[in-house]
Structure 1
Amino acid sequence: MDATDLTHLRRCVDLAREALDDGDEPFGSLIVSAAGDVLFEDRNRVAGGDQTRHPEFEIARWAAANMSPEERVDAVVYTSGEHCPMCSAAHAWVGLGRIVYATSSAQLTQWRAEWGLESGPVAALPIQAVAPGIEVDGPADELADEVKQLQQRLVARRSS
């Protein structure tokens, strides 16, 4: 992971903050072309009731509609939190390239346990357990505390 990766991950954390401030869960993602251009970015949008509205899934849909297979394989997806199994599968089926994440599913699972929360309805599998051919980098220790604080704000909001 290099300085460019961290810059993109910081934008993902900003998108996660935007999602939380808008009443949603704090996750944000973007896709970057082989030339280094940000092509598409999104944030979580599950607050409306559709639990599939993850930004990583939206990126896979966007990439399938707007990029050639060759462009997709050379692209990099950045995300504030490691892909869930649904998003990992979508990423692999669309043929996207490398994934870089700020925090891992294992970290989120640990935090949720610390806060006395139940695990979610889907197993928190690492990306490569679902999509073993994808290059993955993460977590970025520099961003873990900030992402954890966003997740804590979500928990506090739900408990009040």
Structure 2
Amino acid sequence: MPYLRRCVELAAEALEAGDQPFGSVLVAANGEVLLEERNRVVTSDRTRHPEVELARWAAINMTPQERAAATVYTSGEHCPMCSAAHGLVGLGRIVFVSSAQQLTTWLAEFGAPTPKVKPLSVNEVVPGVVVDGPVPSLAEAVYRLHQRLHQG
């Protein structure tokens, strides 16, 4: 839960910076936090999702065995691009606060534009990766962040 709470804090930081509210934490098998990241797509690079940044860092700084044993904690289930990066790099378990399905429902409720990329569950993109979530006790906080983004 502390890692997931940190993800929600990072998502709030992203929103405060004018970005979409997503945050992620990469944790080694021994529980050490290796990297924290938040969404940075407000730049001209729309691929600056935190999960992609974690995957890029892991590819350079971790062995294949370390990557497979690591866990990515995140405020929202990976989008297809992030799922692909996760799978291609060989990262291990994913734990998310809110699901792609929840986000889809929330966006419709808020009258937000339809996403440019079809929301899919992680396992539709990367079969076999261990995925845990959503986490109802924190999902309300993520909902409120997205509500602020889309409804002001």
| TM value normalised by structure 2 | 0.98
Query: What does residue 22 of structure 1 align with?
Result: 17
After TM superposition, give the deviation of residue 117 of structure 1 in Å.
Answer: 2.1
2:25 is paired with a residue whose SS is strand
- Output the amino acid matched with 1:140: V
Q: Does 2:65 correspond to 1:40?
A: no
Q: Which of 71, 81, 84 pairs up with 1:86?
A: 81
8 Å CA contact 2:97–2:134 kept in 1: the answer is yes
Q: Which of 113, 135, 145 pairs up with 1:140?
A: 135
- Output the amino acid matched with 1:143: L
Aligned residues: 152
Deviations 1:104-140 (A, max 9, x none): 0100000111112232010100000000120000000
Q: Which of 29, 47, 55 pairs up with 1:52?
A: 47
Q: Distance in 1 between matches of 2:67 and 2:120?
A: 23
Query: What does residue 58 of structure 2 align with?
Result: 63
- Output the amino acid matched with 2:129: I
Unaligned stretches of 5+ in structure 1? 1-5
In percent, how many aligned pairs have the same letter? 59
Unaligned stretches of 5+ in structure 2? none
Query: What does residue 95 of structure 1 align with?
Result: 90
CA RMSD of aligned residues (A): 0.7
| TM value normalised by structure 1 | 0.93
- Output the amino acid matched with 1:53: R
After TM superposition, give the deviation of residue 77 of structure 1 in Å.
Answer: 0.3
1:42 is paired with a residue whose SS is strand
1:47 is paired with a residue whose SS is coil
Structure 1 residue ranges, 4+ long, deviating more than 2 angstroms after superposition:
none
2:113 is paired with a residue whose SS is coil
